[in-house]
């Protein structure tokens, strides 16, 4: 079935980027609805959650780059996906603001 499918680096990269984009778009939409309805966050709390997300992304850019430079880019990406998955799991398990 997949015998004539050519898997070069470009094809794999495009597939992974497309899949990640679709997944994260759906996940952030579901997360926003979850935070507003199930967790019952107020608009100010939603802004604080978003601000915390952006500050965390900004602060962890340098350590992520160091991991990618010292070890490998692949391990940096894998660690990032694992941490994002754990973050979504923790957010789903504890539906409260603080």
Q: What pLDDT digit, counting tens, does each position of 37-89 carry?
A: 888 888 899 899 889 989 988 998 888 889 889 998 888 888 888 988 898 88
10 vs 55, more confident:
55
Q: What is the model's pLDDT at position 1?
A: 53
pLDDT score recorded for residue 59? 92
pLDDT at 18: 94
Full-model pTM = 0.65
Which pLDDT score, from 0 to 100, does residue 3 have? 64
Nearest to 56 by CA among 64, 44, 46: 64
Give the side-chain half-sphere CA count within 13 A for 30: 10
Question: What separation, in Å, do the N-terminal and C-terminal C-alpha atoms of the chain show?
Answer: 50
């Amino acid at each position: 079935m997949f015998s004539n499918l050519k898997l070069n680096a470009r094809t794999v990269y495009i597939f992974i980027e497309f899949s990640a984009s679709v997944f994260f778009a759906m996940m952030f939409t579901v997360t926003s609805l979850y935070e507003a309805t199930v967790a019952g966050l107020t608009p100010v709390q939603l802004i604080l959650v978003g601000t915390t997300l952006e500050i965390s992304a900004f602060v962890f850019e340098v350590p992520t780059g160091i991991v990618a430079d010292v070890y490998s880019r692949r391990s940096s990406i894998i660690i990032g996906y694992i941490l994002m998955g754990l973050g979504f799991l923790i957010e789903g398990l504890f539906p409260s603001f603080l």
